[in-house]
Chain A
Amino acid sequence: MAAAGLMWGAGLIVFSPISCVFILVVTRRPELVIIAISGAFAYLVALLLSSALWAMFGPVKQTAAIMVVLGVLCQVVMRAVLYRLYHRTEILIKSANHPVLHMPLNDITSSLAAGTGYGLMHAVMIFGSVLASGNSDPGVLFAPSCTRTPLVVVLALLALAFTMMDLSFMALTFLYLRRRKCFRMGVIFLMHSAASGLTILNDVENGCTMSLPLVYVVMVATVLVTFREWRQLNEDT
């Protein structure tokens, strides 16, 4: 196994935030666990869609920027689809008007749960194979994009940023679509594209020195926007 400390450290970086949210928040209600699993599935479908587009459009394969935009678009759409499914379920349950069965959920906890599942699956996809390879190989992989930092650490930091953004994007999706402010989905699209587009800098040797800090800037901005929007909501209500 590659340096155990390295593997454990990277694993903790990636999975501890999302796992803590899952264990301490999501598991409080079984419905939230179901929503989290749905969120994970939604990410996989978004990934499938992106792959299909990549396979279909030959020339597009050569242009990373275009594929980034298409991939982000698929994810934005899938988040919206997930919200739609959640909303329809909500309507069905409420319309049943059952004396015992009621909808104990709310948008904040539901969006957190969906975002947790979505982010966890996103982290596994970014990071899982590299982490697994480290368990059977004593070698540590270094990439030209970051010659002084093991790839597993670079990907862990990247995955951490994107899982935090996934939580925020899902919360914003629920918020905007509940308020029927569909055009504000463009904000999510722009922020996600910015973060994903910054990863293209990794094509350059030692590009991680630029891409990682900038991605974290976008992440912080995303989280701040999310908090501001939800606070605005509370004040309005």
Chain B
Amino acid sequence: MLPRARQASIALTLLVGVIIPFSALTEYDGIHLGKGLLKEVTQAPCVRLFSSQGTVGCRTRSREGATAPLYYLSGFGEDDQHEYMNLEEGVAVVMPASMLNSTVLEFLKAQSPARTRGVIVLEESKDMAADFERDSVSPDVSTPQGDGTPSAAFTVGPDHAWNPRGSGLLNQKHDFPVVLASVDGDSTGVGAAQVKAWAQHNGGLRRAGPLPRYKAKFDFYFGPDSPSTRAESDLTSADCLSWRDVAGNPAPQCLPIGGQSVWGTFGGRTGLQTKPSVLLTTAMDGLSFFHERTPAANEAVASILTLLAATSALKNASRAGALDLDAAPYNLAVAFFQADEWGFAGSRRFARDISPGGVDCPATVPDNSSRDGSGACVGSDGVYPSMAFKDLAEKGFVHVLAVDQVGVLGTGGQAGSLPLTALYDKTPPTAVLDAIDRAAASMAPSQAVMVTSLDGSGALPPSPFTSFARGTPALSGAILTGYGETFIDPRYHSHEDTAAVLDPTALSSVAALVARAFWKLAAGPGEGAASAAELEAIGVEPAFVSDLLDCLTRDWDCPAMKAFRDSEISNLKDYLQMSYLYTPPVPRPPTYYAGVLAPYQGLPLVQHLDKSSHAEGVDTGIYAAWPAGQVFPVGAHDKAYVVPKPLEAFLRAWLGHTLGQGGEDAPVACQGPSDCSDLTCDAGLSTRECVLDACVCRTAAFYHTALDPGLAPLPEPGLFAVSDPAAPNWAEPNWEDIGLAVFPDAGSRMEATALGVGVGVAALSVVGALVLQRSLIKHHYFD
């Protein structure tokens, strides 16, 4: 090595050694070292979703995401459109939520990808009063789960336009990301106001516009355009679920939308086994263009609350001696179906499973290993931790009363009365309508309700009743709704379907009506069944409704819900003999989007322990199903279980506590399940649980898997196969990091100028240094 080079290398090494520490201080926002200039935006995205027919939703087409300067679109007049079309570069459009409609998005889509790189919708104030004069903001199609959707074949009357003002955005594919910037920022990101300020600062993105220019970076990659085998086709859920890696191993890139439906019975398993049932039901999930922002106040919360309040009212009346539930000819059953917005996944699977031969169950986990004593099943349809639904199947349903959108009521009622509609299809369900009329007649003047019967004439609005009606057209049933021939809520399936539209007092009245009608149905036909005194004894406490409404709409971590959820998980950990168990996080704010079905997120599993290795505590396998035609090798210590999602856990625990043996009926104090061994349960092998410090027999409330019957779990947890390609089979893609961030940028002109000046200075420096060197040599300064 030449001496000079050695010297230079030593010097440069020392220099680098000084500079490297500065590289560790890699972020600087002008105030703090360690904080960068990339500012996350608190937002809820529109995500890509797959069905059997293709793709809907929003995404960035490149793995690297999309980066573009913010452009504020304040209006949609001709001048605004003209100015937009004259933009010379791609932009991230920032617009108020009031402009989110199909017209604007179609215009922006037509300018994509040349101009439209992404859309940021600025959320407006959450507290908006119900306003029927307002233009519809419903993003769903005019025929929800009907024509033009993958669920059309599973709907009664798919061509009926229940949602005539729907824009159809939910059913469209957008090749650019669309996100809803939250009104309020939080510790992790900035809110809509800041994003708007940045966009307005950018102005019209003129050449000599102000600096810095704020740019948005969207990271919403959800997979390629099409599968490798069909370059011209859209990606479907079947493609995504059957994805394989380069080595040919299964590597699914999505998970099915689903979870656990929850159902309960007033008479316990004994009631199910001895007499037919009447079913009170609703869907427990909702839908929105921005899935993480699905408040579903009218769509789901109102119905859930109505059923819970009705259940509580009936149980209270029973405890008070006003009702004799055991003497009623029919058993009362309540059901909340999950993922029903996605091809009626929950109710369709339930209806299929309770039908003869509905479930492939070649092997059962022993009764004493199942939590409710009903046994558990492991087969090609998956793992069923509870077989209690078979009890229901034996005697079946006689009547079904479904509840839908009873939070927003019309103005068509008589003065002072709440208007409701009982919708049925063709043949009037006499018993159901009579029960509703008797219930309405028993209401006090201050809670007057007017119910109008309406024949759907071959059409039924989307609800769980649809799944039962399709399977048994002669089934007696109706849907109690707040609307008539068409939906009246302009916020149907919108992120604006918030709690502000709900009136606790009105909901109390509706819940009381439902409870009384339900009792009348269970009490049987005839004037003598369900006397006026009995009906009037069934009342709903307004405080119960208002307290629970606050929990369900604002914070699922409120004490009322958290206590039930904690009990549920505690009992599960005790059953599995685990000190730690992963549970899905509680979403904030609450969202009624069903989410995916995955291990430890609603997917039932069986923990298979080989007896010989049990002493060492070694699991020999955890399975989600077993191949058809083969018998699962049941072990004496096997445990079938499911880790529910937060809302599911609350509902099952609440129903179990309210309806189960023990609980409030005969409280036996406890701190854990081990304190409940003395509690006698009718179903002797039932697990005893400790819920809200009281022992309960696990005989009254159950989970049931909500997974599209067109899909089946495979033995390896997380893998699914398509058993019916024609079914909707909705799935959500997997992703690692998605999000939106904004950062200040200098613009290309400044960049070019800086680089040009730098190169010029470098050139001059070389020349200058050479001149200096030669001058020094010439004057013998290096001799």
**Residue among A5, A10, A36, A128 with the highest chain B CB neighbour number at 10 A:** A5
Residue of B18, B759, B765 near A40 (CB, 8 A) is B18
In the assembled complex, B735 has its CB within 8 A of some CB on chain A: no
Is B750 a contact of A6 with CB atoms below 8 Å? yes
Contact code string B23-38 (vs A, CB < 8 Å = 1, else 0):
1011111100100111
Q: Using CB atoms, name the residue of chain B closest to A152.
A: B754
With A139-B744, A148-B211 as contacts: A9 and B23 at CB distance below 8 Å:
no
Is B773 a contact of A133 with CB atoms below 8 Å? no
With A6-B754, A109-B782, A121-B18 as contacts: A142 and B3 at CB distance below 8 Å:
no
Is B217 a contact of A25 with CB atoms below 8 Å? no
Contacts of B30 in A (CB 8 A): 141, 143, 151
The 11 listed contacts between A and B (C-beta, < 8 Å) are A9-B751, A21-B769, A23-B8, A40-B15, A132-B23, A133-B25, A135-B26, A138-B215, A139-B744, A141-B37, A149-B750
Is B11 a contact of A17 with CB atoms below 8 Å? no
Is B25 a contact of A132 with CB atoms below 8 Å? yes
Contact code string B744-783 (vs A, CB < 8 Å = 1, else 0):
1110101111111111011011101110110010000111
Is A28 a contact of B772 with CB atoms below 8 Å? no
Is A11 a contact of B758 with CB atoms below 8 Å? yes
Contacts of B67 in A (CB 8 A): 138
With A136-B36, A139-B38 as contacts: A17 and B765 at CB distance below 8 Å:
yes
Is A29 a contact of B782 with CB atoms below 8 Å? yes
Is A140 a contact of B754 with CB atoms below 8 Å? no
Is B745 a contact of A8 with CB atoms below 8 Å? no
Q: CB within 8 Å of A: which of B389-434? A: none
- Shortest beta-carbon distance from A213 to chain B in Å: 15
With A9-B755, A27-B11, A138-B217 as contacts: A128 and B744 at CB distance below 8 Å:
no
- Shortest beta-carbon distance from B197 to chain A in Å: 15
With A12-B762, A25-B773, A137-B743 as contacts: A142 and B211 at CB distance below 8 Å:
yes
Cα A156 to Cα B746 in complex, Å, equals: 15
**Residue among B8, B210, B215 with the highest chain A CB neighbour number at 10 A:** B8
Contacts of A147 in B (CB 8 A): 211
Is A6 a contact of B11 with CB atoms below 8 Å? no
Contacts of A143 in B (CB 8 A): 30
In the assembled complex, B446 has its CB within 8 A of some CB on chain A: no
Main secondary structure of the interface of A (DSSP, over half): helix
Residue of A10, A20, A121 near B758 (CB, 8 A) is A10
In the assembled complex, A76 has its CB within 8 A of some CB on chain B: no
- Shortest beta-carbon distance from A37 to chain B in Å: 6
With A135-B23, A141-B28 as contacts: A27 and B4 at CB distance below 8 Å:
yes
In the assembled complex, B582 has its CB within 8 A of some CB on chain A: no
In the assembled complex, A52 has its CB within 8 A of some CB on chain B: no
Cα A128 to Cα B776 in complex, Å, equals: 31
- Shortest beta-carbon distance from B680 to chain A in Å: 66
Contacts of A139 in B (CB 8 A): 36-38, 743-745
Contacts of B18 in A (CB 8 A): 40, 121, 124
In the assembled complex, B580 has its CB within 8 A of some CB on chain A: no
Is A33 a contact of B7 with CB atoms below 8 Å? yes
In the assembled complex, A177 has its CB within 8 A of some CB on chain B: no
Contacts of B759 in A (CB 8 A): 9, 12
In the assembled complex, B247 has its CB within 8 A of some CB on chain A: no
Cα A20 to Cα B217 in complex, Å, equals: 38
**Residue among B18, B753, B754 with the highest chain A CB neighbour number at 10 A:** B754
In the assembled complex, B726 has its CB within 8 A of some CB on chain A: no
In the assembled complex, B148 has its CB within 8 A of some CB on chain A: no
Is A27 a contact of B28 with CB atoms below 8 Å? no
Cα A155 to Cα B26 in complex, Å, equals: 17
Cα A135 to Cα B776 in complex, Å, equals: 38
Is B754 a contact of A153 with CB atoms below 8 Å? yes
Is B756 a contact of A9 with CB atoms below 8 Å? yes
Residue of B11, B25, B762 near A33 (CB, 8 A) is B11
Residue of B27, B746, B768 near A6 (CB, 8 A) is B746
Residue of A22, A120, A140 near B212 (CB, 8 A) is A140
Is B761 a contact of A16 with CB atoms below 8 Å? yes
Residue of A17, A36, A130, A137 near B36 (CB, 8 A) is A137
**Residue among A4, A16, A130, A135 with the highest chain B CB neighbour number at 10 A:** A16
In the assembled complex, A59 has its CB within 8 A of some CB on chain B: no
Residue of B4, B14, B23, B28 near A28 (CB, 8 A) is B4
Residue of A4, A9, A120, A129 near B757 (CB, 8 A) is A9
Q: Using CB atoms, name the residue of chain A closest to B742.
A: A139
Is B776 a contact of A25 with CB atoms below 8 Å? yes
- Shortest beta-carbon distance from B170 to chain A in Å: 33
With A138-B38, A140-B745, A140-B746 as contacts: A5 and B751 at CB distance below 8 Å:
yes
In the assembled complex, B666 has its CB within 8 A of some CB on chain A: no
Contacts of B320 in A (CB 8 A): none
- Shortest beta-carbon distance from A67 to chain B in Å: 20
Contacts of B769 in A (CB 8 A): 17, 20-21, 23-25
In the assembled complex, A99 has its CB within 8 A of some CB on chain B: no
Contacts of B752 in A (CB 8 A): 5
Cα A29 to Cα B773 in complex, Å, equals: 12
In the assembled complex, B19 has its CB within 8 A of some CB on chain A: yes
Cα A173 to Cα B593 in complex, Å, equals: 74
Is A142 a contact of B11 with CB atoms below 8 Å? no
In the assembled complex, B128 has its CB within 8 A of some CB on chain A: no
Is A6 a contact of B211 with CB atoms below 8 Å? no
Contacts of B765 in A (CB 8 A): 16-17, 19-21
Cα A129 to Cα B20 in complex, Å, equals: 10
**Residue among A36, A136, A139, A143 with the highest chain B CB neighbour number at 10 A:** A139
